[in-house]
């Protein structure tokens, strides 16, 4: 929630408001303090002029009388010796830092509060002190500090709370959008992004994505229709051509004619296999069947697939081994998954030098089935490309195959919402199907 734009914007606005409040409190304090200082200095100058008018002979008595008349205790008076180290009369002084004819603040001392004083030297050398209590300023500073602290303690937690509350609705909508995006990414092109009808930026993004998915669905549907039509319409006439070629083959005499006919029928077999694979991929991509899904032990299914290819591996001089595993339950269509495993094992046997190893393991709630060979492998930059239809590496074009085996595997894995990962086996290639464990799906 802390990463949402609404939460961040609320925190920014709350921070700006708190900063404005603190700044206003500081400005009020500075202006008020300046006014209090100016007021204090005016009082000090007036009192200093009045005390300066007293005759020197009665100055000590007048200073003592001024102290007695100061009922509020805000004004203070003092008379010091010429060196400023001893008090002759009054209730303030002496001070260590004494500046003549310039008002200044002095800190609190024993028996004396902090105050602003004005010291003046008389003709006879003695020094008169006029002091004004600055507790008003101290109290103001305390109030301002409390206001600032209250602002921080109230506004900041309140901002976090308000931000969290404001973010809940947009965050819930974003999660709905994320779920819809994941389903669209998994191939469910009939899913649309939810539109709340508020006309805000989230609705605008959702409507834009919906338009994009509509266009993408139309394009894919057109491409698929063309591909399916070509594969379906050409398969029958090609099969007839093959049948006719076989019929002519029986009528022709001579080894050269027979060899040519064998090459022609072999080429037609490859074309028919590719059309069959295309139709199989189209069937898998078009279906979302889950009626045959059941809890199966993937380890046992791997052993079954290995058994089906044991003879082929032995004929090719390849050692096909299955590593023992503990029960690895997944929810899947066993026939489709067996088809995917068979394609991967067939590829591994085709390219392996001497060994193909099948392993099944359960890792963090996922079942990993790996088919590893010790063949030439696939460079990292081509591992995405080999999953595309008809893609064949240049050095593999002379090998038998349609170039669609991994495309069929990808379609089956996608239907199950599993993952297919190709990695370097050092040497060779390791193809891994990663599925959520059955207990994890139920939970």
CATH number at residue 133: 3.30.450
Determine, yes or no, domain membership for 161: no
Determine, yes or no, domain membership for 176: no
> Where is the domain boundary, 249, 264, 286?
286
> Where is the domain boundary, 286, 315, 337?
286
Determine the pLDDT at residue 443. 41
CB-based contacts of 308: which residues, under 8 Å, 6+ apart? Answer: 342
> CB–CB of 138/72 below 8 Å?
no
For the record, the structure tokens of 249 come out as 């083959």
> Where is the domain boundary, 139, 169, 185?
139
Determine, yes or no, domain membership for 356: yes
> CB–CB of 418/433 below 8 Å?
yes
Domain of 129 in residue numbering reads as 5-139
The tens place of each residue's pLDDT in the chain, 443 residues long, gives 555 666 677 777 777 777 887 788 788 878 877 887 888 888 888 888 888 888 988 888 988 888 888 766 678 888 999 888 888 998 888 888 888 888 888 887 777 778 888 999 988 899 999 988 887 777 777 887 787 788 778 777 777 777 777 767 777 777 888 888 888 877 777 888 888 887 777 788 888 888 888 887 776 665 666 566 566 656 666 676 667 666 666 666 555 556 666 666 666 666 666 666 666 656 655 555 556 788 889 889 999 999 999 999 988 899 999 988 778 889 888 888 888 898 899 889 988 999 999 999 988 889 999 999 998 888 887 778 777 765 666 555 555 555 567 877 888 888 788 899 999 888 889 999 999 887 654 44
CATH number of the domain to which 394 belongs: 3.30.565.10
Name which of 392, 394, 380 is nearest 422 in CA terms.
380
Radius of gyration of the CA atoms of the chain, in A: 47
Name which of 193, 162, 166 is nearest 180 in CA terms.
193
Name the domain count of the chain: 3
The answer on 206 and 116 residing in a single domain is no
The answer on 438 and 323 residing in a single domain is yes
The answer on 213 and 274 residing in a single domain is yes
The phi and psi torsions of 139 (rounded to 5 degrees) equal: -65, -40
For the record, the structure tokens of 199 come out as 């006309």
The answer on 410 and 324 residing in a single domain is yes
Determine, yes or no, domain membership for 144: no
The answer on 273 and 317 residing in a single domain is no
| Angle in degrees, 0-180, between the axes of helices 405-416 and 334-351, rounded to the nearest 10 | 150
CB-based contacts of 64: which residues, under 8 Å, 6+ apart? Answer: 89, 90
CB-based contacts of 316: which residues, under 8 Å, 6+ apart? Answer: 349
- What are the percentages of helix, strand and coil residues in the chain, rounded to 5? 60, 15, 25
For 64, 115, 167, 295, 325, the CA distances from 129, given in Å and listed in that order, are 12, 11, 64, 99, 98
Determine, yes or no, domain membership for 170: no
The answer on 435 and 298 residing in a single domain is yes
Name which of 249, 250, 253 is nearest 268 in CA terms.
249
Determine, yes or no, domain membership for 189: no
The answer on 112 and 30 residing in a single domain is yes
């Amino acid at each position: 929630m802390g990463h949402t734009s609404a939460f961040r914007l609320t925190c920014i606005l709350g921070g700006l408001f708190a900063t404005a409040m603190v700044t206003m409190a500081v400005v009020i304090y500075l202006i008020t303090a300046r006014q209090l200082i100016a007021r204090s200095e005016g009082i000090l100058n007036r009192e200093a002029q009045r005390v300066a008018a007293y005759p020197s002979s009665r100055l000590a008595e007048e200073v003592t009388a001024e102290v007695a008349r100061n009922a509020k205790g805000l004004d203070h008076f003092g008379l010091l010796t010429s060196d400023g180290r001893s008090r002759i009369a009054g209730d303030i002084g002496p001070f260590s830092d004494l500046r003549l004819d310039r008002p200044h603040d002095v800190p609190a001392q024993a028996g004396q509060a902090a105050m602003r004083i004005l010291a003046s030297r008389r003709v006879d050398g003695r020094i008169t002190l006029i002091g004004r209590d600055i507790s008003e300023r101290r109290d103001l500073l305390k109030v301002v500090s409390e206001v600032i602290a209250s602002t921080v303690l109230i506004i900041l937690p309140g901002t976090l709370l308000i931000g969290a509350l404001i973010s809940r609705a947009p965050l819930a909508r974003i999660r709905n959008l994320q779920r819809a995006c994941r389903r669209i990414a998994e191939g469910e092109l009939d899913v649309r992004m939810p539109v709340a009808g508020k006309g805000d930026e989230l609705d605008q993004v959702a409507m834009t994505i919906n338009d994009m998915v509509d266009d993408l669905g139309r394009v894919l549907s057109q491409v698929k229709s063309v591909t399916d039509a070509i594969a379906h319409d050409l398969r029958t006439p090609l099969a007839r051509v093959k049948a006719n070629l076989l019929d002519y083959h029986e009528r022709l005499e001579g080894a050269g004619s027979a060899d040519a006919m064998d090459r022609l029928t072999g080429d037609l077999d490859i074309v028919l296999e590719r059309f069959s694979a295309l139709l199989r991929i189209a069937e898998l991509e078009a279906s979302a069947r889950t009626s045959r899904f059941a809890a199966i032990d993937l380890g046992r299914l791997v052993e079954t697939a290995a058994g089906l290819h044991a003879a082929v591996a032995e004929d090719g001089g390849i050692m096909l081994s299955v590593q023992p595993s503990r029960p690895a339950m997944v929810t899947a269509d066993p026939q489709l998954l067996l088809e995917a495993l068979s394609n991967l094992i067939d590829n591994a046997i085709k390219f392996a030098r001497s060994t193909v190893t099948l392993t099944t393991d359960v890792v963090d709630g996922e079942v990993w089935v790996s088919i590893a060979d010790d063949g030439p492998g696939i460079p990292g930059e081509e591992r995405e490309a080999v999953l595309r239809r008809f893609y064949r590496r240049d050095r593999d074009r002379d090998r038998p195959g349609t170039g669609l085996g991994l495309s069929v595997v990808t379609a089956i894995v996608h239907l199950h919402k599993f993952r297919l990962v190709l990695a370097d086996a050092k040497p060779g290639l390791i193809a891994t199907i990663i599925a959520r464990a059955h207990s994890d799906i139920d939970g």
